[in-house]
A and B are shown apart, each in its own frame.
Chain A
Amino acid sequence: MSSAPEFKNPIVRWIDYRLPVFSYMHEEYQNYPMPKNLNYFWNFGALATIALVLLLVTGIVLAMHYTPHVDLAFDSVERIRREVNFGWLLQYLHANGASMFFAVVYIHIFRGIYYGSYKAPRELLWILGVVILLAMMATAFMGYVLPWGQMSFWAATVITNLFSAIPGIGEAIVTWLWGGFSVDNPTLNRFYAFHYLLPFVLLGVVILHVIALHVHGSNNPDGIDLTGPQDSVPFHPYFTAKDSVGTGVFLLILAALVFYAPNYLNHPDNTIPADALQTPAHIVPEWYFLPFYAILRAIPDKLFGVIAMFSSILVLFVLPWLDTAKVRSARYRPLFRWFFWLLVADSILLGACGANAPEGVWLILSRAGTAYYFLHFLVVIPALGLLETPRTPPTSISQPVLATGNDPSPGAQASGGNQ
């Protein structure tokens, strides 16, 4: 695109000559070419960043008031809500913000799957995204333990105990994770330390994710490469404007949750202080872990249940190589589109299974759901690329637009060039 701009401000010029941050911002967030056909699903990356910043800011302030001790943690959270200025707002923003972060990231992931955003040359970009997902999950899990309610304690007990399934050294690993022989104060302390550390690690991976994105640019709904300047618009003002619209809607939903249903996504049992002698009737994780919890419990063997649960995410790492199709976007893949929605339905089904006790029909459904989940990635996706006859995507993003009103045939591209 255009070369580095002449900055008018002499201080800016002085700095930029020595450390070209202004040129960098200009190149990467102003002139940076974006496909002009992106739909609103491409808002979700920016929204995830906003959610992360929100969580970092509220989290740092909450950390100033929180006490990581088994005898004091629960009361300190309650004190934050009642006594700290706008403490209730901070705590609700942080808890509901985490839910919003997951919601936004899940949509972001499904968007990537639908439009084939993980395919060459964006495999590493995708892999970094999966690393972000894993870091998010670890952070969210440890954050959920901090209020030291009943669900906090028992979630920590159940999840750390998963490692005891590792043959031979499992028990030793669990003791090491706990810092003792049960979930107790050392566990809470280290979870607090990691809950504060991991978001910054996550932020680092997000930066790598964005750097990797800016190498080949965003994918687009047609799943085709940019052919020239006529296919793109500069990031600013076009996508700053479009991302702002999504941000407004995101904040509206967050505000509706925080101000009118702040505890809707919270389990009532987590308002009961942790009690090692009293197990809740049903131990359920937060909604964003339910599908994985369903996979864990669908399998009768503990070790294989744990392996299946972790594999359900690990399989995403190799998705770029499991998918044999040359065409990226589901727009031009009539069969894949059906299986995509089947995967979405399957994930929601698994979520419902995770919320219910693994008995009767729910156990059958969670087994069927788990089976399809892995079948989808390991069999359906590789097979579809070989069996499906995709429609031909347009040769350039401008083509379908330019073709309308003129000659609708593929040859219209030539006349498009004259306009």
Chain B
Amino acid sequence: MMRASLFGLGTAISIVFSGSVYASETPKLPAQEWSWQGIFGTFDQQELQRGLQVYLEACSSCHGLKHVAYRNLTALGYNDEQVKAFAAEYEIEDGPDDEGEMYFRLARPSDHFVSPFPNDQAARASNNGALPPELSLIAEARQGGADYIYALMTGYVDPPEGVDLPDGMNFNTYFASQQIAMPQPLFEDGVEYADGTKASIDQMARDVSAFLTWTAEPYLDERKSMGFKVILFLLVFTAMLIAVKRKVWADVK
């Protein structure tokens, strides 16, 4: 029993070393321009709405978004009625009722996005053993954030000569091991955008990257606008403190 912890550490270390091998081959992520960059950058609601559509049609059958509630979608420019109608398209398990039974009901705006699988085991069983990651925080959980998601979405290519892919694996330039279980999710005109935008792979990849950046940090706009005011105040305040200090110290030789 005492050895168990040591064994655990040994396994951990061996995984660390085998893990570091496959990180080296992936090329550098190309930096993209995003609407929320810079001091005054904010999310583009139209882009987020398109991104939500891409998520729903191309990602949501495998990937959950459990940290986001339906009511949060008002931030994308939808009104309360639209959000209510949107939530009502989903069923959610609730209960137990007075009889002690669990039951399904329509989702309400206060519910969080219903995950496609009840648990990780079910998710793996439906996906050839691979676990589709929960996407709420994916933009923060991957080096590069939106740039990474965009690169991954557009990084599917035929495997180079000599690379033998195991069954059910796909080649992606930007994935850590370049072997990814997820098949290419986006195809030309795979989504019919509500606003009529042409659904190229590039467009959909951009939109879903923006949307997933929003799901990771829905308070980004608030953070930046508050930050600007706070820093402006602190600049003036510090300038005043410097003036006071100079006046106080003027008589010290």
Contact = CB atoms under 8 A, between A and B. Distances in A.
Interface string B116-144: 00000000000000000000110011110
B2 A175 contact: yes
B187 interface: no
Contacts of A271: 137, 140-141, 216
B181 to A, nearest CB: 15
A385 to B, nearest CB: 33
B235 to A, nearest CB: 7
Contact of A255 (B4, B8, B227): B227
A241 B249 contact: yes
A280 interface: yes
Contacts of B217: 88
B252 A36 contact: yes
Given A88-B219, A242-B249, A252 B141 contact: no
A57 interface: no
A157 B12 contact: yes
Given A82-B218, A258-B227, A238 B143 contact: no
Nearest to B237: A248
A161 B8 CA distance: 10
B31 interface: no
B219 A81 contact: yes
Contact of A244 (B20, B235, B244): B244
Contacts, number: 125
A408 interface: no
Interface in B207-252: 216-219, 222-224, 226-228, 230-231, 234-235, 237-238, 241-242, 244-245, 248-249, 252
A255 B236 CA distance: 14
A200 interface: no
Contact of A82 (B1, B19, B219): B219
A286 interface: no
A81 B72 CA distance: 13
B25 to A, nearest CB: 13
Given A78-B67, A164-B5, A174-B5, A279 B15 contact: yes
A249 B141 contact: no
A188 to B, nearest CB: 17
A281 B20 contact: yes
A181 interface: yes
Contact of A268 (B1, B23, B142): B142
A263 to B, nearest CB: 6
B140 A241 contact: no
A338 interface: no
A273 to B, nearest CB: 8
Interface string B1-44: 11111101101100110011001000000000000000100000
A395 to B, nearest CB: 17
A238 B249 contact: yes
A241 B238 CA distance: 11
Interface residues of A, number: 51
Given A255-B227, A255-B234, A259-B231, A161 B9 contact: yes
A81 B224 CA distance: 15
Given A238-B252, A263-B140, A357-B20, A172 B2 contact: yes
A251 interface: yes
A282 B141 contact: no
Contacts of B216: 271
A238 B250 CA distance: 10
Contacts of A75: 67
Interface in B174-196: 176
A279 B16 contact: yes
Contacts of B9: 157-158, 161, 164
Contacts of A259: 223-224, 226-228, 230-231
A272 B8 CA distance: 20
B5 A181 contact: yes
B248 A241 contact: yes
Nearest to A87: B219
B66 to A, nearest CB: 8
A252 B239 CA distance: 12
Interface in A46-79: 75, 78
Contacts of B4: 181-182
Interface string A237-272: 110011011011101100110111011000011011
Contacts of B20: 281-282, 357
B240 to A, nearest CB: 9
A244 B241 contact: yes
B5 A281 contact: no
A108 to B, nearest CB: 20
7 contacts: A88-B222, A238-B252, A242-B245, A245-B245, A259-B224, A269-B141, A279-B15
Interface of A: 36, 75, 78, 81-82, 88-89, 92, 154, 157-158, 161, 164, 171-172, 174-175, 178, 181-182, 233, 237-238, 241-242, 244-245, 247-249, 251-252, 255-256, 258-260, 262-263, 268-269, 271-272, 279-283, 357, 401-402
Given A81-B219, A259-B228, A279-B11, 6 more contacts: A157-B9, A164-B6, A182-B4, A244-B241, A244-B244, A260-B224
Which 8 interchain pairs have the tightest Cβ spacing? A259-B227, A248-B238, A271-B141, A281-B19, A279-B15, A241-B245, A271-B140, A241-B248
